[in-house]
Amino acid sequence: MKKLFPLIAALGLVCSFGTVHAADKEKTPQQMKMTTCNADAKTKALKGDERKKFMSECLSAKADMPMAAASDGKTAQQMKMTTCNADAKTKAVKGDERKKFMSECLKG
């Protein structure tokens, strides 16, 4: 047990650095899909098994298509707008801060 604790602590530290570093990078297409599907599930107030089923279908349906022509007819820019909106909502950004955040998010 004494050997396990330092290993877990080190792993947690490494993961936290990875999270901070990952925030600086642009999201991969898969991460963008996950964010978009999460936002859609949240909008529809899905929970439990219903949410799992929706997420599975959402991620697999969009994974087979290019980002510019998703199954719901959204362009890449529209999908990015959805993702940025979801991120802004998650971070509870309001007013001028939200405008700045959205501008930077959509440029990236």
What are the average pLDDT values for consecutive 10-residue runs of the chain, which has 108 residues? 60 58 67 84 88 87 49 73 86 91 84
pLDDT of residue 11: 63
pLDDT of residue 10: 60
**Amino acid occupying residue 37:** C
Q: Phi and psi of 6, rounded to 5°?
A: -60, -35
Domain containing 98: what range? 27-107
Q: Is residue 56 part of a domain?
A: yes
Among 82, 84, 79, 86, smallest CA distance to 100 is for 84
- Compute the distance between CA of residue 81 and CA of residue 76 in angstroms, rounded to an integer: 9
Q: Are the C-beta atoms of 82 and 39 separated by less than 8 Å?
A: yes
Q: Is residue 13 part of a domain?
A: no
Structurally, how many domains does the chain consist of?
1
